[in-house]
Amino acid sequence: MNTAPSFPSAPAKPEQASIPAGDSSPARRLVITPVRGIGEVRAGDDLVELIGRACGRELRSGDILAVTSKIVSKAEGRTVPADRREEAVEQETVRVVASRETGNGTTRIVENRLGIVAASAGVDASNTAEGTVLLLPLDPDASARALCRGLKRDFGVDVGVIITDTLGRPWRQGQTDAAIGAAGISVLLDLRGQPDGSGRPMSATVSAVADEIAAAADLVKGKAAGLPVALVRGLDTLVTVGGMDKDPGARALLRPAAEDMFRQGSTEAYEDGRRSGTKTGYNAGYDDGHAAGYEDGYAAGYAAAASEARRRARISAD
C-alpha cells in the first residue's frame, strides 16, 4: 500500500525547497514537496491514477505538479532498444545546430521535432531499463492537459501541470530542468510596463516562470532518488482555472527563429558564410567580367569601325 505524502503549510522540512518571495513575485511563500509512492512506471500505466493515489486527498486547487518527462515517456511507450539510439536521434532531429567530435564520438546539439534544442534530440539512456533509451513524449503539452483533466475529474481540483526535462545551457556549465510541456498554468510572467524597485517601468522583463518552477522542483526530485513528481504550493495566481485547453502550453517558451540570434553553431555558420560568399563572389565576378567584356568589345568594335572608315576614305580618294 502506498502512503500518501504530507504537504505541510508550516515551515518546510529539510527535504523541501521553501523560498520566501518578494513583493514582485507571484508568491510570498513557496513550498515544494516530493511526491512519494509512485513507483516504477511502465508502458500503458495511468499516470492520473498513480499520481492521484500518491498525492491522496492532499491535492488542492491552485497546486502545481512538476512531472519528470521520463515517466510520461514510459507510460506512453516511448522506449526503444539502445542499439537503435542513433536511428531514433535521426528521426527526432529537424535541424543540426552544432556538432563536435570528442573522444566518445560525435556530440550533436539539434532542434528536435518539438522545436526544443537539446543534445541528441532529447533521446536519453538514464533512468530507463538496461538496453533501452527513452524518447521525449510525442506531445508534452497534450500530456500535461490530459493530467489536468484527469485530476480535475477524479479529485475535483484545478491544478497546473509542468512536464520537465533536463537541458544544457549555452555559455553556462551544468544542466537544469526546464518545462517542455505545460497545462493549466501561465508559463510566462510579463512584467513589462510595471515599475521596478526604483519606480522606473520595466521594458524587457518577461519571466519564464514555468522553467523556474521546473528547476526549483528538481531540487527535491533529484536524478537518482526515484521521485519523479514534485508538488508546488504557493503559486495559485499562475494556475489558469478552466483555461487548460486555451493556454499555449510550453511551446510559448520557444524562441521564434526570426528572433534567434544564435541559431547556428560556429562551424555551421562558417560553412554557410563560405557558401554564401562563394556564390556572391561568383555572381559579382561574372557581372564584372560581363561589364568589362562589354566595354572591351565596344572599344574594339569602335576601333575596327574607325579603321574601316579610314580605309574606305583612302580608296575613295584614289
Digit-coded pLDDT (tens) for 71-111: 999 999 999 999 999 999 999 999 988 888 888 788 889 99
Cβ of 166: how many Cβ atoms within 10 Å?
A: 22
pLDDT tens, residue by residue, 27-41: 678 999 999 999 899
Q: Would you state the pLDDT for residue 181?
A: 97
Q: Would you state the pLDDT for residue 240?
A: 87
Q: Would you state the pLDDT for residue 291?
A: 67
Q: Would you state the pLDDT for residue 4?
A: 44
Specify the 3-state DSSP secondary structure of 101. strand
Triad 226, 131, 45: Cα angle to 5°: 50
Closest C-alpha to 159, from 93, 233, 90, 217: 233
pTM score, whole prediction: 0.77
Residue 67, phi-psi category: left (phi > 0), alpha (psi -120 to 50), beta (remainder): beta
Q: What is the rounded (10 degree) CA torsion for 112, 166, 173, 98?
A: -10
Q: Would you state the pLDDT for residue 81?
A: 94
pLDDT tens for each residue of the chain, 318 residues long:
344 444 444 334 445 555 544 456 676 789 999 999 998 999 999 999 999 999 978 899 999 999 999 999 999 999 999 999 999 999 999 998 888 888 878 888 999 999 999 999 999 988 888 899 999 999 999 999 999 999 999 999 999 999 999 999 888 999 999 999 999 999 998 777 777 777 877 777 889 999 999 999 999 997 777 899 999 999 999 998 765 666 789 999 999 888 888 777 666 667 777 787 777 766 666 666 666 676 777 777 777 777 777 877 777 776
Q: Would you state the pLDDT for residue 1?
A: 39
Q: Could you give the C-alpha distances from 286 to 8, 31, 294, 295, 297, in angstroms and in order?
A: 76, 68, 12, 14, 16
Name every residue whose Cβ is closer than 8 Å to that of residue 173 and which is 6 or more positions away in sequence.
none
